[in-house]
Amino acid sequence: MKQRKLGNSGLEVSAIGLGCMGMSHGYGNKVDDQEMVKLIHQAVERGINFFDTAEMYGPFINEELVGKALAPMRDKIVVATKFGFQFDPATKENQGFNSRPEHIREVCEAMLKRMNTDHIDLLYQHRIDPNVPIEDVAGAVKDLISEGKVRYFGLSEADALNVRKAHAVQPVTALQSAYSLWDRAPEITVLPTLEELGIGFVPYGPLGHGFLTGTIDANTKFAGNDIRNRIPRFSEESRKANGQLINLLTGFAQQKNVTAAQLALAWVLHQKPWMVPIPGTTKLHRLEENIGAVDIELSAAELVEIEGILTSMKGAGERFA
């Protein structure tokens, strides 16, 4: 597996990582934990060493799963997780933002126990807390880094201004945000800021929550607790409107003898050398398909052709509810 560095931090990881959320949360699917442990091991065997989780996923159970799976090879892999919310101790219901410094410390200790590890490689703030200055958040993580409990600091879905403010207190290693062929908002102000400051970028949703694989259409039915039921872009009307874009991209992929998913990942990988997408899956054949994207070359002419497709067919529907 090819390696990439996340900005100027020195943190080097596999060219793609594995987003683990869907193994426990989000898509309404019931999957066996032992099968997911096996899949994570298969990812490591195939060269992936960068794994993404969060306290939100479950909540908590995804961190436990990832920790259990990676314990035997802990020194060979990079685990990223995220804080930023308050959960009811009894019901685990999300009660809203909480990035107060004292809470960050409590959450970090709980994460270390759940994942049965003595350190977190990359700790992200999951979302900006409007009630806590980002400088205080960065300072709290800086303290955890100085204590050896955390190695690198990250932000998720932060704007350029908050990235700058945080980076001035504690260097930000990576920003994680949604980014894909049909979700390019970070290109406006965020990516230029990251490039200027030497910060890596970790796109989540590089396959458009499955839509860019070409396996979802207007007739697809989602489970009742699937998060896509709440995303306007996945309404039946939007899926129908977006079908032509997917057909054009799928046709391009077929001409190149790759899958639609591989094209979507290869496109992300060609944008910047400091981008490391983290597609998620619960299936071995999809994992292997995603890994295959790392070796796909897109010429300058092909990138221009893809850009023409994207310009002519704007995606319908908002990305968030």
Place of tokens 């990988």: 269
The residues, any chain, with a CB within 8 Å of residue 31's CB and separated by 6 or more, are: 23, 24, 282
Q: What's residue 320's pLDDT?
A: 56
Q: Is 239 left (phi over 0), alpha (psi -120 to 50) or beta?
A: alpha
- Torsion, Cα 210 211 215 220, to 10 degrees, reads 100
Q: Are 99 and 141 in contact (CB under 8 A)?
A: no
Q: Which pLDDT score is estimated for 91? A: 96
State the Cα–Cα distance between residues 267 and 282, nearest whole angstrom.
Answer: 22
Is 3-207+272-296 a CATH 3.20.20.100 domain?
yes
- Give me the tens of pLDDT residue by residue for the chain, a chain 321 residues long: 999 999 999 999 999 999 999 999 988 877 999 999 999 999 999 999 999 999 999 999 999 999 999 999 999 999 999 999 999 999 999 999 999 999 999 999 999 999 999 999 999 999 999 999 999 999 999 999 999 999 999 999 999 999 999 999 999 999 999 999 989 999 999 999 999 999 999 999 999 999 999 999 889 999 888 899 988 888 889 898 888 889 999 999 999 999 999 999 999 999 999 999 999 999 999 999 999 999 999 999 999 999 999 988 766 767 654
Apex 255 CA angle, 279 and 293, nearest 5: 25
Contacts of 143 (CB under 8 A, 6+ apart): 105
Cβ neighbors of 172 (< 8 A, separation 6 or more) are: 138, 153, 154, 155, 163, 166, 197, 199
Q: What is the Cα–Cα distance from 223 to 230, expressed in whole angstroms?
A: 12
Q: What is the pLDDT of residue 321?
A: 41
The residues annotated as belonging to the active site are 57
